[in-house]
């Protein structure tokens, strides 16, 4: 795929230099965070900041592992995030296909309903949600975090766009061959959906890996805490925790998201490409 | 992916509706099958939404008609909560703040994303393009709350890295978080920094889908640089712009973490947003009825803005 | 369509199958984890205690649980450390549980929430205190009456304080040396304070702030109001409480004690309040102090320990924090808040509140007593992350490793200044605090802004106090 189509009036080197500055600005806070987590606390606030620590130490990371049960927290976070991601891929894939390629009554209002859920702030519904979960016996369980997150408005929207972007003659040809609606989905469209599903999965992972408010309200037992909740301990009583340890915790927690992003970057790009264009 | 692109699929034309009856050998049976499949496919999403969103929303709407402090049983209040809300200057200010935030945050986010997407799309080594793309998307993978803690330090007036950098080039220290004028700008900056990567990716994708021939034809006609972008690229990109702005606005109207951590709504009320007010009146002041009323109003506002956008989009969005 | 494309697609498909299978297998294997079935003692009638997470790490929870088990092997105990960043997050959690009818039996509550919980949710401890008076005599003898009084509401006691923090002044010794200044005397005045800040500023230049403070209820503007002999709300004492004072405290110490504080009429537009704000505004104007910054003061430890700040108000909790930040014991020291019209100081305390909804009140009382025992607190507060409420625990030994040298200041703040009192925290505390923080931000924009902002603060406070919580 040849991407360089647009010829710009700006000289290429100037354009690339500007981009480099922008990239540096974008990554600056992240670089500062990583480098501060590798310095002793006394050097945390040095100006100019020692971006390359003269005396790097992993003491802060040891501190994180000493103070909180990183492995249990990471296991919980992984379970919650992975299952939500898989669940959203399934619900969004199916619903997105239905909205894009199947004909049924109330299609438009139902699609509107799905989109409208994007517009509801979490803080408004958290108490009723808690009551619903309680009636299901799911409070203070990881499932209580996972199941309500299965329906995804944006994911459904994305998958609908994605399926709309596929040539419909493929389905029509299959229909002429006598395939029923299920077969058309199963053998014609579903195999093409992988990149779209990948983006739903990656976005779900990103969002739910970092989620704080829902776990705070819904989980009670320490054994059920997710990583973002556990990291709060590092801040210490009234914010007296070591800033290096706090940042080491932040860096540790961003590793899986980075890995997922790097691995998922290509499908992510392809998925977003078709989602953004076809209306 | 070249074979999967259909340029002229539009939202108002349900494709299956047009094609299905034409080719279907046994319409009724097939329709039944389709409907059954649709029901099965939609069930997980719709059931989930009804149980975990619609029921709680109905709960909130009902709650907005009651006084409830969680501890005692609710007492009916009629429209009192709404009257209270409309008479509360903090609530009104928070709506204004949220709208100001939305306009600037979304505009800035789209502008930065668009310019960078165009720049990245220019001629350069493949590996470099990939580095830039990753860099611009990176902040999106971070947690808003923890990165805001970092930003709070970086933007500190006296010891922050930002003012130190400005000092190097001769600027006086800026009270980023502690003056009413600067605080909102800082919150917007931090928000945009984290969010623009999403629109950026959308635009990169959108640009990839613009057929090469169109640009070549334009170049032959003598269109160059900015003019070419304004007259050709932008209209072709307008569907992507619509998606980016709809999602951007919906998210911006619900901003919470950044102002909560960076300024806690201050100084004064200058960065207090609607969702912050909802959170404060519910969980700090035990006024769940009023909090629900504000929530209902916010919901209505978001719906109205989104509907307006789609209406406007009919005029400005061009499909290839 | 090329072969490589097909291969990739096939790969993706098998990848999807693989992921699906792995998810199913993972779900099945971790079913107990997902449903919480692997957590022992859930919903088994345990006594449930909610504490603030950052203050109670896993280590502390283990200590508490195991220690309690030794004393009361028959009572099952579960401690939930709520991982809230601040009090409002903490309340959000507790309130949601109350709304759903799954409230804990005991909640760790600081001064900010004492009266709110007492008025709406709490059970007075009076009958148990009277019953177990003999057992508690040693506790009360060790705890300053001001701390106990701050846990009373309308004549009844609602918590046994286990920790407190007064707003004392921390000074960076290195900055003092740079400024060629002596360590301030115990009876230093506001003018001495100003002069010291000027010396520090002269000696240290830019990127240095002599006095740094955080805009919050505890340790923000309120210490200055106290020093200027005023308060945000009129302060009086409820009648009653004699039942406690008479049985546990000698005559000298119970003089003037009552049944807890009442904070009633707002007085933000009073001359002395304005005077205090005007003073702070003048410090800001002179560049001697930061503009009001919101939040929990998270960056403060770092900038103080590295000499970018000379002076700041903090309590005993900072000794442990500075040590963690790598500050040596001799690098800082503490002194009382400077005298203005008075040298009255402010504090916040915390303990366990028993909820009315609890069905295990007797067991809960046993936990309250256990949590206030000296040996419990010794184990719990071994890193100086707070000031213990028990006087006998403040020893040279405790502060040898972390500092400060003048560790006596922490408890003497109560002993030497018996009028030192809690931050104003009526049941409407959440709104009061919000109004205070909000208008403090605008009042200190400039000296001209003080008076109008305080007038607005006054009218907002009036509205807040009228409301029935």
What chains are in contact with A, requiring at least 3 Cβ pairs below 8 Å?
B, C
> Which segment of A127-131, B107-111, C243-247 scores lowest on mean pLDDT?
A127-131
**Confidence bin at C159 (pLDDT 50/70/90):** very high
C1: confidence class by pLDDT, cuts 50, 70, 90: very low
Q: Identify whether residues C453 and C316 lie together within a single domain.
A: yes
- Compute the mean pLDDT over every residue in chain A, rounded to the nearest whole number: 84
Residue B158 pLDDT grade (very low, low, confident, very high; cuts 50, 70, 90): confident
* Of B230-239, C179-188, C283-292, C321-330, the least confident: B230-239
Residues in chain C whose beta carbon is closer than 8 A to a beta carbon of chain B? 1, 85, 88-89, 91-92, 95, 98-99, 120-121, 206-209, 215, 290-295, 298-299, 302-303, 308, 430-431, 434, 437-439, 441-442, 445, 469
Cross-chain residue pair A243–C327, CB shorter than 8 Å: no
Q: How confident is the model at residue C295 (pLDDT cuts 50, 70, 90)?
A: low
Residue B290's pLDDT band (cuts 50, 70, 90): very high
Place of tokens 């080594």: B125
Range of the domain at A155: 68-277
pLDDT tens per residue, range B211-230? 777 766 766 666 666 777 77
Inter-chain touch C305–A42, beta carbons under 8 Å: yes
C27: contact with A, CB 8 A cutoff: yes
Q: Write the pLDDT tens digit of every residue in B84-95.
A: 999 999 999 999
pLDDT score of A133 more than 60: yes
For residue A7, the model assigns a pLDDT of 46
Q: B178, B182, B280, B287: best mutation site toward chain C, by most C Cβ within 10 Å?
A: B178
pLDDT of residue C189: 97
Instruction: Test A236 with C83 for CB contact under 8 angstroms.
Output: no
Distance between A4 CA and the closest CA of chain B, angstroms: 5
As a whole number of Å, the end-to-end CA separation of chain B is 18
Q: What is the pLDDT of residue C58?
A: 77
Q: Which residues of C touch B158 (CB under 8 A)?
A: 207-209, 290, 303, 308
Q: What is the pLDDT of residues A171-224, one digit of tens each?
A: 888 888 888 888 888 888 888 888 788 888 888 888 899 898 899 888 888 889
Contact (CB, 8 A) for B184 and B101: yes
For residue B76, pLDDT beyond 90: yes
Question: Tokens at residue C398, please?
Answer: 């405790």
* Option in C15, C58, C317 nearest A222 (CB): C58
Upper half-sphere CA count for residue A226 (Cβ side, 13 Å): 28
> What does the pLDDT read at residue B138?
87
Predicted pLDDT of residue C192? 97
If DSSP states are collapsed to H, E and C, what string results for C80-129?
EEECCCCHHHHHHHHHHHHHCCCCCCEEEEEHHHHHHHHHHCECCCHHHH
Residues A244 and B150 sit within 8 Å (Cβ to Cβ): no
- The mean-pLDDT minimum among A250-254, A261-265, B218-222 falls in B218-222
Facing residue for B122 by CB, picked from A12, A92, A212: A12
Q: Is the pLDDT of residue B15 over 70?
A: no
Q: Which chains touch B (3 or more CB pairs under 8 A)?
A: A, C
Q: Do A221 and C35 touch (CB under 8 A)?
A: no
Cα separation of C419 and A269, whole Å? 66
CB contact under 8 A, B178 and C291: yes
**Burial classification of residue A122, based on how many CB atoms lie within 10 Å of its CB (0-12 exposed, 13-18 middle, 19 or more buried):** middle
Residues 59-88 on A with a CB inside 8 Å of C are 67-69, 75-76, 79, 82-83, 86
Backbone angles phi and psi of C302, in degrees to 5: -65, -45
The more confidently predicted of residues B99 and A210 is B99
Size of interface A-C (CB pairs under 8 A): 169
**Are C264 and C243 a contacting pair, CB within 8 Å?**
no
Look at B9 and C174; give whichever has higher pLDDT. Answer: C174
Q: Give pLDDT, residue A95.
A: 95
Give the ranges where C311-419 is alpha helix by DSSP (H): 317-324, 361-371, 374-380, 396-399, 408-415
Would you state the structure tokens that stand for residue C349, as one six-digit string? 């305390």
The answer to whether residue C325 neighbours chain A at the CB level (below 8 Å) is: yes
Q: Which residue has the higher pLDDT, C405 or B134?
A: C405
Alpha helix ranges (H) inside chain B = 15-23, 27-49, 55-63, 80-86, 89-121, 126-137, 144-154, 161-168, 180-208, 212-220, 225-228, 234-252, 257-262, 274-279, 288-316
Does residue C401 carry a pLDDT above 80?
A: yes
What pLDDT is stored for residue A230 in this prediction?
87
* Domain count within chain B: 1
Q: Which residues of chain A neighbour B299 with C-beta distances below 8 Å?
A: 119-121, 124
Q: Residue by residue, what is the 3-state secondary structure of A69-112? A: CHHHHHHHHHHHHHHHHHHHHHHHHHHHHHHHHCCCCCHHHHHH
Q: Which of A14-18, A238-242, B102-106, B142-146 has the lowest mean pLDDT?
A: A238-242
In a domain, A16, yes or no: no
**pLDDT at residue C122, as a whole number:** 93
pLDDT of C366 above 90: yes
pLDDT at residue A233 greater than cutoff 60: yes
Angle between the N-to-C axes of helices B180-208 and A12-37, in degrees from 0 to 180, rounded to the nearest 10: 120
Q: Does C293 touch chain A (CB under 8 A)?
A: no
Q: Are residues C68 and C214 in the same domain?
A: no
Interfacial C residues in 143-162 facing A (CB < 8 Å): none
The pLDDT of residue B8 is: 35
Residue C370 predicted with pLDDT over 70: yes
Average pLDDT over residues C34-54: 82
pLDDT, one tens digit per residue, over B188-209 is 999 999 999 889 988 887 887 7
Q: How far apart are CA C367 and CA C351, in angstroms?
A: 11
Whether the per-residue pLDDT at B279 is higher than 60: the answer is: yes
Q: What are the chain A neighbours of B292 within 8 Å (beta carbons)? A: 124
Token pair of A140 as six digits: 């203070």
Q: Do C54 and C86 fall into the same domain? A: yes
Pairwise pLDDT comparison (C105 vs A125), residue with the higher score: C105
Is residue A221 a contact partner of residue C80, using CB atoms and an 8 Å limit?
A: yes
> Is B171 at the interface with chain C, CB within 8 A?
no
Of A18, A49, A151, the CB nearest to B45: A151
The whole-number average pLDDT for the span A138-150 is 93
Q: How far apart are CA B61 and CA A262, in angstroms?
A: 42
One domain, residues C159 and C281: no
pLDDT digits (tens, 9 = 90+) for C449-467: 999 999 999 999 999 998 8
**Neighbours of C (≥3 Cβ pairs closer than 8 A)?**
A, B
C33 located within any domain: no
Return the pLDDT at B12.
38
- Residue of chain C minimizing CA distance to A192: C9
Q: What are phi and psi of C172, to 5 degrees?
A: -85, 115
CA distance C258 to C132: 21
C58 shares a domain with C133: yes
Mean pLDDT across the stretch C119-145?
A: 96
Instruction: Identify the three-state secondary structure at position C262.
Output: strand
pLDDT band at C293 (very low <50, low <70, confident <90, very high): confident
Q: Which of B165-179, B270-284, C290-304 has the lowest mean pLDDT?
A: C290-304
> Which residues span the domain enclosing B172?
89-316
Q: Would you say B144 and A210 are in contact if contact means Cβ atoms under 8 Å apart?
A: yes
Let me know if A105 is exposed, middle or buried by CB neighbors in 10 A (0-12, 13-18, 19+). exposed
User: What confidence tier does A61 reach under pLDDT thresholds 50, 70, 90?
Assistant: very high
Q: Does C216 touch chain A (CB under 8 A)?
A: no
DSSP tag of A182: H
- C294 vs B263: CB contact, 8 Å cut-off? yes
Higher pLDDT, A220 or B56: B56
CA C59/CA C421 separation, integer angstroms: 32
Would you state the pLDDT for residue B56? 92
Mean pLDDT lowest among A224-228, B294-298, C36-40: C36-40
Buried b (16+ CB within 10 A) or exposed e, C222-257: bbbbbbbebbbbebebeebbebbbeebbeeebbeeb
Residue of A nearest to B195 (CA): A26
Answer yes or no: is C411 within a domain.
Answer: no
Residues C401, C329 contacting (CB under 8 angstroms):
yes
The pLDDT of residue C268 is above 50: yes
- Whether A10 shows a pLDDT value over 80: the answer reads no
Q: Which of A26, A127, A257 sits opposite B141 (nearest CB)?
A: A257
- How far A11 CA sits from the closest chain C CA (Å)? 36
Name the percent of chain B lying above pLDDT 70.
87
Q: Say how many domains are in chain C.
A: 2
Q: What is the mean pLDDT of residues C258-266?
A: 95
CA distance B155 to C334: 29
CATH of the domain at B253: 1.10.3720.10
What whole-number distance in Å separates Cα of residue A25 and Cα of residue A255? 20
What CATH code is carried by the domain that includes residue A170? 1.10.3720.10
Q: What percent of chain A has pLDDT over 90?
A: 30
Interval B36-59 mean pLDDT: 93
DSSP C234: E
* The predicted structure's pLDDT at residue B319: 62
d(CA A259, CA A271): 18
Query: Within its chain, how far is the Cα of A44 from the centroid?
Result: 30
DSSP B242-289: HHHHHHHHHHHTT--HHHHHHTTT-STTTT--HHHHHHIIIIIT--HH
Whichever domain contains C132, its CATH number is: 3.40.190.10
Mean of the pLDDT values across residues B146-157? 87
Mean pLDDT (whole number) for A20-46 = 89
Where helices occur in A102-187 by DSSP H, the ranges are 107-116, 122-135, 142-146, 153-164, 168-176, 181-183
Q: What is the pLDDT of residue B103?
A: 96
Q: Which two tokens stand for residue C170?
A: 């921390």
Tell me the DSSP string of A214-233. HHHHH--SGGG--HHHHHHG
Whether residue B184 contacts residue B100, with contact meaning beta carbons closer than 8 Å, is answered with yes
Average pLDDT of the residues in B23-29 = 56
Q: Which pLDDT belongs to residue C223?
A: 96
DSSP designation for A68: S
**Mean of pLDDT values over C418-428:** 94
Q: Mark which residues 383-412 of C lie under 8 Å from A by CB.
A: 385-386
Residue C3 has pLDDT above 60, yes or no: no
Does C82 contact A at CB distance below 8 Å? yes
Average pLDDT over residues C292-317: 85
What number is the average pLDDT over the span C212-239? 94
Contacts of B266 in chain C (CB under 8 A): 215, 292, 294, 437-438, 441
DSSP code string of B49-87: HIIIIIHHHHHHHHHTTEE--SSSPPEE-TTHHHHHHHT
What does the block give as tokens for C49?
């205690």
Instruction: State the number of CA atoms in the 13 A half-sphere of C102 facing the CB.
Output: 22
Contact C290 B264 (CB under 8 A): no
* Average pLDDT, integer, range C383-407: 94
Query: How far lies B164's CA from each of B152, B160, B170, C149, C292, in Å?
Result: 14, 6, 10, 48, 20
For A84-101, how does the pLDDT look when each residue is reduced to its tens digit (9 = 90+)? 999 999 999 999 999 998
Residue percentage of chain C with pLDDT more than 90: 67
Taking 70 as the threshold, does the pLDDT of residue A268 lie above it? no
Within a domain: residue A29?
Answer: no
Residue B243 — very low, low, confident or very high, per pLDDT cuts 50/70/90?
confident
Q: Provide the residue range defining the domain that includes C291.
A: 168-232+267-344+428-466
Q: Are C170 and C323 in contact (CB under 8 A)?
A: no
Does B3 reside within a domain? no
Q: Residue B1: pLDDT above 50? A: no
Is residue A269 over pLDDT 50? yes
Q: Does residue C174 fall inside a structural domain? A: yes
Q: Does the pLDDT of residue B19 top 80, yes or no?
A: no
* Interface predicted TM-score of the whole assembly (ipTM), two decimals: 0.86
Q: What pLDDT, on a 0 to 100 scale, did the predictor assign at position B6?
A: 34
């Amino acid at each position: 795929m040849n991407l360089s189509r647009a010829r710009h009036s700006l000289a290429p080197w100037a354009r690339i230099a500007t981009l480099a500055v922008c990239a540096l600005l974008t990554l600056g806070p992240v670089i500062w965070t990583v480098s501060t987590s590798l310095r002793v606390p006394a050097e945390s606030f040095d100006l100019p900041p020692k971006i390359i620590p003269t005396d790097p130490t992993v003491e802060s990371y040891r501190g994180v592992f000493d103070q909180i049960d990183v492995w249990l927290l990471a296991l919980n976070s992984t379970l919650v995030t992975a299952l939500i991601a898989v669940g959203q891929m399934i619900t969004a894939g199916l619903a997105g296909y239905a909205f894009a390629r199947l004909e049924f009554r109330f299609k438009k209002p139902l699609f509107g309903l799905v989109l409208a859920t994007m517009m509801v702030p979490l803080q408004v519904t958290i108490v009723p949600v808690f009551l619903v979960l309680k009636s299901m016996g799911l409070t203070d369980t990881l499932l209580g975090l996972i199941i309500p997150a299965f329906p995804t408005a944006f994911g459904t929207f994305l998958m609908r766009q994605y399926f709309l972007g596929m040539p419909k003659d493929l389905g029509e040809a299959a229909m002429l061959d006598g395939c029923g609606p299920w077969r058309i989905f199963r053998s014609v469209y579903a195999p093409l959906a992988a990149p779209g599903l990948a983006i739903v999965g990656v976005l779900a992972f990103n969002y739910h890996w970092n989620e704080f408010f829902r776990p705070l309200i819904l989980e009670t037992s320490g054994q059920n805490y997710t990583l973002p909740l556990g990291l709060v301990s590092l801040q210490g009583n009234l914010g007296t925790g070591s800033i290096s340890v706090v940042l080491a915790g932040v860096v540790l927690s961003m590793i899986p998201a980075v890995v997922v992003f790097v691995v998922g970057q290509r499908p992510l790009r392809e998925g977003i490409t078709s989602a953004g264009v076809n209306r | 992916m070249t074979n999967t692109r259909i340029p002229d699929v539009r939202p108002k034309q349900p494709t299956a509706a047009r094609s299905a009856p034409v080719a279907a050998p046994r319409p009724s049976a097939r329709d039944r099958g389709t409907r059954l499949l649709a029901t099965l496919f939609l069930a997980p999403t719709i059931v989930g939404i009804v149980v975990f969103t619609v029921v709680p929303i109905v709960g909130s709407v009902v709650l907005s008609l009651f006084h409830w402090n969680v501890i005692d049983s609710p007492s009916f209040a009629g429209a009192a909560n709404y009257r209270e809300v409309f008479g509360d200057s903090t609530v009104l200010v928070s709506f204004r703040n949220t709208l100001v935030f939305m306009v600037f945050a979304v505009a800035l986010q789209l502008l930065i994303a668009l310019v960078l997407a165009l720049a990245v799309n220019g001629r350069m080594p493949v590996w470099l393009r990939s580095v830039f793309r990753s860099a611009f998307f990176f902040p999106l993978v971070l947690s808003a709350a923890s990165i805001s803690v970092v930003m709070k330090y970086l933007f500190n007036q006296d010891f922050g890295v930002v003012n130190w950098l400005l000092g190097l080039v001769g600027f006086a220290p800026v009270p980023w978080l502690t003056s009413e004028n600067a605080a909102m700008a800082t919150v917007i900056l931090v928000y945009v920094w984290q969010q623009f990567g999403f629109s950026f990716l959308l635009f990169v994708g959108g640009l990839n889908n613009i057929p090469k021939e169109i640009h070549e034809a334009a170049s032959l006609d003598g269109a160059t640089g900015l003019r070419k972008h304004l007259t050709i690229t932008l209209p072709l990109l307008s569907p992507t712009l619509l998606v980016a702005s709809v999602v951007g606005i919906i998210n911006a109207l619900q901003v919470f973490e950044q102002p909560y951590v960076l300024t806690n709504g201050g100084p004064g009320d200058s960065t207090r947003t609607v969702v912050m007010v909802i959170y404060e009146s519910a969980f700090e002041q035990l006024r769940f009825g009023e909090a629900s009323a504000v929530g209902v109003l916010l919901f209505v506002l978001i719906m109205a803005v989104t509907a307006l956008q789609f209406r406007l989009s009919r005029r400005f969005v061009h499909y290839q | 369509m090329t072969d490589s494309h097909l291969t990739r697609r096939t790969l993706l498909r098998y990848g999807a199958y693989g992921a699906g299978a792995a998810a199913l297998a993972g779900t099945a294997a971790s079913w107990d984890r997902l449903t919480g079935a692997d957590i022992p003692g859930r919903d088994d009638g345990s006594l449930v205690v909610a504490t603030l997470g950052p203050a109670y790490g896993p280590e502390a929870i283990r200590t508490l649980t195991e220690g309690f088990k030794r004393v009361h092997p028959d009572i099952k105990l579960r401690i939930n450390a709520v991982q809230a960043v601040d009090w409002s997050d903490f309340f959000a959690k507790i309130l949601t549980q109350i709304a759903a009818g799954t409230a804990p039996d005991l909640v760790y509550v600081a001064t900010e929430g004492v009266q709110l919980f007492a008025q709406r949710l709490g059970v007075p401890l009076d009958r148990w205190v009277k019953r177990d008076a003999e057992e508690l005599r040693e506790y009360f003898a060790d705890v300053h009456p001001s701390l106990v009084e701050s846990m009373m509401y309308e004549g009844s006691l609602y918590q046994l304080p286990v920790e407190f923090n007064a707003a004392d002044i921390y000074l960076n010794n290195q900055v003092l040396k740079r400024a060629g200044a002596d360590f301030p005397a115990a009876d230093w005045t506001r003018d001495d304070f100003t002069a010291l800040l000027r010396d520090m500023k002269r000696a240290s230049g830019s990127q240095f702030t002599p006095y740094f403070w955080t805009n919050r209820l505890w340790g923000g503007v309120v210490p200055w109001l106290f020093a200027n002999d005023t308060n945000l709300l009129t302060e009086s004492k409820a009648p009653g409480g004699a039942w406690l004072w008479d049985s546990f405290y000698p005559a000298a110490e119970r003089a003037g004690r009552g049944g807890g504080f009442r904070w009633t009429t707002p007085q933000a537009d009073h001359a002395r309040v304005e005077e205090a704000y005007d003073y702070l505004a003048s410090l800001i104007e002179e560049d001697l102090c930061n503009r009001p910054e919101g939040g929990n003061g998270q960056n403060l430890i770092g900038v103080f320990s590295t000499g970018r700040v000379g002076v700041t108000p903090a309590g005993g909790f900072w000794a442990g924090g500075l040590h963690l930040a790598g500050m040596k014991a001799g690098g800082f020291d503490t002194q009382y808040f400077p005298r203005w019209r008075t040298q009255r100081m402010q504090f916040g305390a915390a303990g366990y509140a028993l909820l009315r909804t609890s069905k295990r009140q007797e067991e809960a009382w046993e936990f309250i007593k256990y949590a206030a025992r000296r040996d419990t607190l010794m184990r719990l507060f071994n890193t100086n992350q707070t000031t213990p409420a028990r006087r006998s625990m403040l020893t040279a030994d405790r502060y040898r490793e972390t500092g400060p040298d003048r560790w006596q200041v922490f408890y003497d703040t109560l002993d030497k200044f018996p009028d030192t009192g809690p931050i104003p925290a009526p049941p409407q505390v959440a709104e009061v605090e919000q109004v205070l923080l909000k208008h403090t931000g605008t009042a200190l924009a400039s000296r001209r802004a003080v008076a109008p902002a305080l007038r607005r603060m006054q009218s907002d406070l009036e509205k807040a106090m009228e409301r029935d919580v």
